């Protein structure tokens, strides 16, 4: 299963998230107010305006204007916009397909700490899709996402340490326990199996390390 999303799914999810946010705040934000803020340089407004044009919320859908504002937001450092723009270039449905540009923008979003971009990039390198297959780069980005609290990435990193010969299984145990602390049942089961494999004099240090990881990296 690919963890990176198609551009259509990304836009749908973000539009839904925006709707939920506005509902919770009980605010009505007009197109003109958003456009005014976007023109002033607000990255958030630029991103929202791009979604509005892309989906046709309240007016005729205009992908050209959507891309204009999305590129503005991405160029101004919005990791969300960078990730979505990258997805659009890879998907090629709303803009001329350009996988190099797509990977570039997703990489920028990953470097900016956007977890969805980090996991997407990790999967790309693991599978050799749109980039040359590179296990080290894959692990790098899974580690970044794991450190940011992504449970799936934590389990993936734990699996790398658990099933790769010569790797430190105590680190695997620590990542499994960190994911388990967020309620993941599978991670808890794997952690229990690993703990049984440790010699009695190793369990204390393994549990100490797991406690440190859980405190630092558990999803909040």
Q: Look up residue 204 and give its two tokens.
A: 């204390």
| Domain count of the fold of the chain | 2
**Rounded-to-integer distance, Cα 42 and Cα 76, Å:** 9
47/131 same-domain check: yes
Instruction: Judge if 96 and 196 occupy the same domain.
Output: no
Is residue 181 within 8 Å of residue 189, measured between CB atoms? no
Q: Is residue 162 domain-shared with residue 199, that is, in the same domain?
A: yes
What's the domain range around 11? 7-147
> Which residues 6+ apart lie within 8 Å of 52 measured at CB?
31, 34, 58, 59, 66
Tally of CB atoms within 10 A around 128: 11
Q: Kindly report, residue by residue over 95-153, the tens digit of the pLDDT.
A: 899 999 999 999 999 999 999 999 999 999 999 999 999 999 999 999 999 999 999 99
pLDDT in tens, 153-204: 999 999 999 999 899 999 999 999 999 999 999 999 999 999 999 999 999 9
Prediction pTM value? 0.84
Whether residue 74 is found in the same domain as residue 165: no
Give the span between the Cα atoms of 123 and 101, in whole angstroms: 17
Residues 111 and 184 in one domain: no
Could you tell me if 66 and 109 lie in one domain?
yes
Q: Are 11 and 86 in the same domain?
A: yes
Is 1 inside a domain boundary? no
């Amino acid at each position: 299963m690919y963890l990176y999303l198609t551009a259509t799914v990304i836009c749908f999810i973000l539009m839904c998230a925006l709707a939920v946010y506005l509902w919770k705040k009980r605010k009505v934000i007009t197109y003109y107010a958003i456009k005014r803020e976007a023109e002033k340089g607000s990255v958030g407004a630029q991103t929202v305006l791009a979604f509005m044009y892309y989906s046709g919320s309240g007016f005729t859908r205009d992908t050209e204007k959507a891309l204009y504002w999305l590129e503005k937001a991405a160029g101004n450092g919005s990791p969300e916009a960078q990730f979505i723009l990258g997805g659009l270039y890879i998907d090629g449905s709303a803009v001329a397909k350009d996988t190099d540009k797509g990977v570039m923008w997703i990489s920028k979003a990953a470097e900016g700490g956007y977890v969805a971009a980090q996991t997407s990039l990790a999967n790309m390198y693991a599978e050799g899709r749109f980039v040359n297959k590179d296990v080290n780069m894959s692990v790098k980005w899974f580690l970044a996402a794991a450190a940011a609290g992504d449970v799936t990435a934590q389990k993936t990193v734990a699996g790398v340490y658990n099933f790769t010969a010569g790797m430190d299984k105590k680190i695997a145990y620590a990542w499994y326990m960190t994911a388990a602390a967020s309620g993941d049942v599978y991670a808890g089961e794997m952690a229990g199996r690993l703990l049984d494999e440790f010699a009695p004099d190793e369990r204390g240090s393994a549990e100490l390390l797991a406690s440190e990881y859980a405190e630092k990296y558990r999803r909040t």
